Structure 1
Amino acid sequence: MAVGLGKNVFPQWEGLVRRLSLLYFRVFQRQTVDYFNTGIDVFWKSPVTAPALFFFCENDALCDHEAMEEIIEYWRKRGMTVESRKWKESIHAGHLRSHPQEYLCTLETFLQSLSLIPLRAKM
């Protein structure tokens, strides 16, 4: 995360941001690193069994695409419905902006697969 913060938020000060982030994580380890690690363990071991959709990319410094692929495969092996869309290049949390057609098509296909009751106006 420290590397990704530097690359994405302040690329001109990447080294400084990385070092300050690592210091912050060390000083507040219980409130940051330990907390995030616990959350990751829960995410892996006790996933919500509802269908899931993941959007991610290979060039994201804040999200390890190989770890995403690993958890997607793990959840599928556990019988969960998991859909995903991966791009070679995109922007962290900005896939809709970078790839609007593909994003919306994937999202629509996923939502249609859920067989949800159509929403109706209450008026």
Structure 2
Amino acid sequence: MQEEKYSSVRTKIVGQIFDSLTMGGLEKMITGVAQKVHNPIGRAMVTMGTKSYLWATKTYTVDYYEDLVEFFKEAPLRTPVLLFYSLNDPLLCPDAMEDMIDKWRAMNDPRLEVFSKCWPISRHALHVRSHPSDYHLALKSFLLRLGLETPTSRL
């Protein structure tokens, strides 16, 4: 992955925040997206259409996606990271997320501190609206740990 080309950028990254990563495979994402369609026929069409598209473009989409996910899990950027997620997220397999968190922590790299905030129930990418005080507390604590000022927000 062209590490030398981007080494100057990597040195400027002091921390990472990920909200609602999609992990656990394409099948989980396909069914998660289809769940947003309330009409059963529409849901089936979204599922079949997405599966057909991914099958037809496998070498450009599926293979590329799977390689990048594997790279993300196996070679994380060595900076502190904060992960927000929920156990009921239709686009996430919580076990896959927790396995990645355990794997990163097991690397025992002091530069790669892993912090997470998980809710039993929270909508995908809407944790800040569903749990504003918990979200902002975790975010503020993380940013202070990095020595950064905490932003003010109207969210």
TM-score by length of 2: 0.71
In the alignment, the residues of structure 1 paired with residue 100 and residue 33 of structure 2 have an alpha-carbon distance, to the nearest angstrom, of 23
Instruction: Tell me how far 1:30 sits from its aligned partner.
Output: 1.3
TM-score by length of 1: 0.88
Residue from 27, 45, 48 that aligns with 2:74: 45
Task: For structure 1, list consecutive stretches of 5 or more residues without a partner in the other structure.
Answer: none
Q: Percent identity?
A: 33
**Contact 1:3–1:61 under 8 Å retained in 2:** yes
Instruction: Tell me how far 1:11 sits from its aligned partner.
Output: 3.1
C-alpha RMSD of the superposition:
1.4
2:33 alignment partner in structure 1: 5
Determine which structure has greater relative contact order: mean sequence separation of CA pairs < 8 Å that are 6+ residues apart, divided by chain length: 2
In the alignment, the residues of structure 1 paired with residue 62 and residue 90 of structure 2 have an alpha-carbon distance, to the nearest angstrom, of 17
Q: Report the 3-state secondary structure (helix = DSSP H, G, I; strand = E; otherwise coil) of the residue aligned with 2:92.
A: coil
Flag the structure with higher helix content.
1
Written as runs of structure 1 = structure 2, the 5 A alignment for 1:1-123 is: 1-8=29-36, 10-12=37-39, 13-79=42-108, 80-116=112-148
Runs of 4+ in structure 1 deviating by more than 3 angstroms, as ranges, are none
Instruction: Tell me how far 1:115 sits from its aligned partner.
Output: 2.5
Count of residues in correspondence between the two structures: 117
In the alignment, the residues of structure 2 paired with residue 14 and residue 99 of structure 1 have an alpha-carbon distance, to the nearest angstrom, of 29
In the alignment, the residues of structure 1 paired with residue 103 and residue 83 of structure 2 have an alpha-carbon distance, to the nearest angstrom, of 14
